[in-house]
Amino acid sequence: GYFLIVADFIKWAKSQGIPVGPGRGSGAGSLVAYSTTITDIDPLRFSLLFERFLNPDRVSMPDFDIDFCQDRREEVIRYVQQKYGRDQVGQIITFGTLQARAVLRDVGRVLQMPYGQVDKLSKMVPQNPANPVKLADAIANEPRFAEEAEKEPIVQTLLDTAQKLEGLYRHASTHAAGIVIGDRPLSELVPMYRDPRSDMPVTQFNMKYVEQAGLVKFDFLGLKTLTVLETAVKLIRRRGVDIDLATIPLDDKETYSMLSRGEVVGVFQVESAGMRKALIGMRPDCIEDIIALVALYRPGPMENIPTYNARKHGEEEMASIHPKIDHLVKETQGVIVYQEQVMQIAQELSGYSLGEADLLRRAMGKKIRAEMDKQRERFVSGAVERGVSKPQADFIFDLLAKFADYGFNKSHAAAYAVVSYQTAYLKAHYPVEFLAASMTLDMS
């Protein structure tokens, strides 16, 4: 039922001329999603894994993230409301928590401390939105906190109080993209409330508890790049050329030449100065290069970009991890880039099913010692049974554990690389129309 519901509103959107992204997140690894036009990424062509999306060894609901043209996303939500009933469709509440910097500022305000002093203290906490630093860790690693507390007792009061309040809910908001659809009025299933900023009802349960109550979440996201592409295609049509973005060749030399020159203004995902430099060094000549770059260009993995580039251009020999698994990393120049590669290596080397391999990947990401020890024993014994020496198996397990920390979802990288390539293709062949569309959207 879930697949059919998603397929229905995507087909409706496409029938109304509303641009829909080719895919997003792990859902692009599903062949059923591709065959029902939920996604436009062929998982067989890109070697994507269904088990990364829906694991038979882990009880969880499927979860498609769908990108729609930013200007017309609301039309799709209205269609869903009309089809299933306004009282059966709602948004999901989210709760903002007090994190280290925010809790220092809030407690400092209550203690009536000078703004400049509190601001200085809060900025001693490292800024890492992806993995927020706990206040206790920041205090332990930053000696200036102790120095300031010694100078003024109120600073110690601030630090003690802030640590007690850290992690508590600060405010309620509405999930930016999440929508739930019920088989009956939502008020019969979960408590509801009205967000004054929205005309849709909102669940009082957050995402975790909404799922436990039996509701399924659908993500309706707005992506302005889809609006740019649609506008550019309409402008190109004025000169008598009809472009179908789903069928443009993925091996166009002009497009890759433009990317290799770093001419990336307006090109989705790759227009930053750092990406431009990476592209010039990489000199991409296939869509797999763009997929790898989308995955690599993040803190941590980006240190592997020079290695990838050197091996791609024959300046460095590709090091062998193990003959049994070298073919799994050949596409990425011997560098483990994707979460799916971690899963495939566990399958090939140690006899994991892909479902079990996904659980291994998750365990490596969480770094829970007891679970890691259990997985190491399973991985090493499986590898030894298949002719791998124990030291080699231990080495490869540690290597995978390191990469699992920041390995990227290949399904998502592939989907966004295709959108990036589509923008690059239009810029390379129809620069006037593409840049006009891009600038028009920026102006509005």
Asked if domains 2-92+174-224 and 99-167 share a fold, the reply is no
Whether the pLDDT of residue 403 is over 90: the answer is no
Give this prediction's pTM: 0.88
Question: What is the model's pLDDT at position 407?
Answer: 86
Are 109 and 118 contacting, i.e. CB atoms less than 8 angstroms apart? yes
Token match 């039922």: residue?
A: 1
**DSSP helix, strand, coil percent of the chain (3-state; round to 5):** 55, 10, 35
Q: Side chain identity at 268, as an amino acid letter? A: F
Q: Half-sphere exposure of residue 339, counting CA atoms within 13 Å on the CB side?
A: 28
Model pLDDT for residues 127-150, shown as the tens digit of each residue: 887 788 999 999 999 999 999 999
Are 6 and 53 contacting, i.e. CB atoms less than 8 angstroms apart? no
The average pLDDT across 411-432 equals 98
Whether the pLDDT of residue 199 is over 90: the answer is no
Whether the pLDDT of residue 444 is over 70: the answer is no
Model pLDDT for residues 3-59, shown as the tens digit of each residue: 999 999 999 999 999 999 999 999 999 999 999 999 999 999 999 999 999 888 877
The average pLDDT across 239-256 equals 96
Rounded to the nearest 10 degrees, the angle between the axes of helix 410-429 and helix 253-260 is: 100
The average pLDDT across 277-304 equals 95
**Residues with Cβ < 8 Å from 329, sequence gap 6 or more?**
321, 335, 336, 341
Model pLDDT for residues 340-353, shown as the tens digit of each residue: 999 999 999 999 99
Higher-pLDDT residue of 202, 216: 202
Model pLDDT for residues 351-395, shown as the tens digit of each residue: 999 999 999 988 888 877 888 899 999 999 999 999 999 999 999
Separation of alpha carbons 309 and 313, rounded Å: 6
Band (pLDDT 50/70/90 cuts) for residue 299 is confident
Whether the pLDDT of residue 405 is over 80: the answer is no
Model pLDDT for residues 64-119, shown as the tens digit of each residue: 999 999 989 999 999 999 999 999 999 999 999 999 999 999 999 999 999 999 99
Q: List the domain boundaries for the chain.
A: 2-92+174-224, 99-167, 301-404
Q: Side chain identity at 156, as an amino acid letter? A: Q
We find that the CATH architecture of domain 99-167 is Orthogonal Bundle (1.10)
We find that the CATH architecture of domain 2-92+174-224 is 2-Layer Sandwich (3.30)
